[in-house]
Amino acid sequence: MSAAHLHQYDNNTTISFEYQARALSQLSTDLSTTCILPSQPTHQGHERTELSGPARTTLVKDELLLGIILLGMTSAWNDASSPGYSHLIGSRVLFKSWVSVNGLNTANTASAMTDIQRFIVSSLVYWEALSSFVVDQRTEDLAYLDCLANQRWTGTITPSPWTGVATPIFIHLAKVGSLMRKKRALRNISLFRNSETYRDALYFQLVEDARALEQAILGWRVPFVSLIEDTGDPRAPPKHFWGLARCYRLVAFIELYRAFPEIVENHSGLTVPGCESAAPGGDYHNPLILSLAFGILDILKNILSDSSTLPVQGLALVAAGSVLGRVGSPEKATLDQEVMEWRAFVRERMVLLHGFVGLRPVKHAAIMIEESWTRMDALVDSNSGFEFDGNMLSDSVHWMDIMIEKRLETILG
């Protein structure tokens, strides 16, 4: 991982790939002696799943699972366009067995996890959340995380460097990304004759799934700051993790509502907890969307720029920053000024983020944001504007479309 990070500066990938090859070789050796148990016990009890190869005598070790997860998560460090999806599929198989063997699939085990178990869980969940915006997959593929999304904490909460104290929110966020990708896949169906009815039926199911997901997100509450354990890092106090939890809860909402505006059409004066301030209405934006963006950025602004949580702020900056479109009318000059001020903040924070981690995916994220602004400004300057026009597949300018169009797919974290 260190070699992959350092080669960003000297463009020498040889050492990085050499270490990567060694890691893969060692993982392959460990896997050859690992026994994969089914994620759920059968009527005969736990039965081993025998795979081809030598006899497997060892259950999934913490070190093996964590090694595969970290190798996959950092694939984008060597190749910005690689989400490490092949590693993710393998990690899921091992993780299900690991969870079952360690008894982590019940509602009251969250507080009983060891530090390494919490780190493994949060690492995989974080990876799933970021990958979901890049890879087309079934939402059902993420169902294995449901037992972790519904776990209850008692006592203090130990924050993770990846998900902080919001692991359940990142599980929901992974499903949001999956639904967004599914919606975009429906566009291809319209290419076929007499496909409208079929497409409408599929879209209706997506909306229903989105409604259920909205309720799950609304049902999760950010832990009190007093319940968050101090990690001892002066640049990552409990308040920073509390802020990130609030922030990514709003990120889940902003992407869900942008993808499925029908969800909020019947909400009169909807107020999302944690984002009580409402943006002025009447412009081409859904006022709630802009309010959510302002809420996200305000939270990030109150987290110091040298915070140790900076590396995991990328997706939030993209989600909120990419909706900062000008209105362009004299009546909304004050709103436009606020939008421009927040754009300046996003640019500054992205520069700091790149300086902090020095990885190519950060550049990809910055391009998505800047291109979103360019396209929205062009629409305003041409007086054409854009809005939700009632067509269920029409979006405003969206960073995911730009990412796909310009082949900027990457792990935004």
**What pLDDT, in 10s, does the model give residues 193-248?**
667 788 888 999 999 999 999 999 999 999 999 999 999 999 999 999 999 999 99
CB atoms within 10 A of CB 276: 9
Distance CA 99, CA 163 (A): 18
- Per-residue pLDDT, averaged over 293-311, amounts to 96
Is 115 a residue whose pLDDT tops 50?
yes
3-state secondary structure of 244: helix
Distance CA 3, CA 251 (A): 32
Same domain, yes or no, for 30 and 112? Answer: no
Range in 95-99, 133-137, 267-271 with the lowest mean pLDDT? 267-271
* 391-406 core/surface letters (b: 16 or more CB in 10 A; e: else): ebeebbbbbbbbbeee
Same domain, yes or no, for 112 and 67? Answer: no
Helices assigned H by DSSP within 107-166: 115-131, 146-149
251 located within any domain: yes
Distance CA 70, CA 4 (A): 12
Same domain, yes or no, for 183 and 244? Answer: yes
410 located within any domain: no
Same domain, yes or no, for 255 and 158? Answer: yes
Q: What is the pTM of this model?
A: 0.83
**pLDDT confidence of 179, banded at 50, 70, 90?**
very high
Distance CA 307, CA 143 (A): 33
Number of domains in the chain: 2
Same domain, yes or no, for 69 and 139? Answer: no
97 located within any domain: no
- Residues 6 or more apart in contact with residue 165 via CB below 8 angstroms: 157, 159, 222, 223, 228, 241, 242, 245
Same domain, yes or no, for 47 and 112? Answer: no
34-73 tens-digit pLDDT: 555 555 543 334 444 444 444 444 577 888 888 888 888 8
**pLDDT confidence of 390, banded at 50, 70, 90?**
very low
98 located within any domain: no
- For residue 242, CA distances in Å to 111, 144, 170, 262, 274 come to 18, 26, 14, 30, 11
- Residues 6 or more apart in contact with residue 144 via CB below 8 angstroms: 39, 92, 95, 96, 99
Amino acid at 59: L
* Confidence at residue 43, expressed as pLDDT on a 0 to 100 scale: 39
**Taking the C-alpha atoms of 363, 129, 166 and 353 in order, what is their torsion angle to the nearest 10 degrees?**
-10
* Confidence at residue 130, expressed as pLDDT on a 0 to 100 scale: 94
83 located within any domain: no
Is 268 a residue whose pLDDT tops 50?
no
Percentage with pLDDT > 70 across the chain: 73
* Confidence at residue 395, expressed as pLDDT on a 0 to 100 scale: 55
207 located within any domain: yes
Range in 16-30, 105-119, 134-148 with the lowest mean pLDDT? 16-30
Amino acid at 16: S
* Confidence at residue 21, expressed as pLDDT on a 0 to 100 scale: 57
- Per-residue pLDDT, averaged over 267-278, amounts to 49
CA 11 to chain centre: 28
92 located within any domain: no
120 located within any domain: yes
- Residue 342 domain boundaries: 104-405
Same domain, yes or no, for 284 and 351? Answer: yes
Same domain, yes or no, for 38 and 179? Answer: no
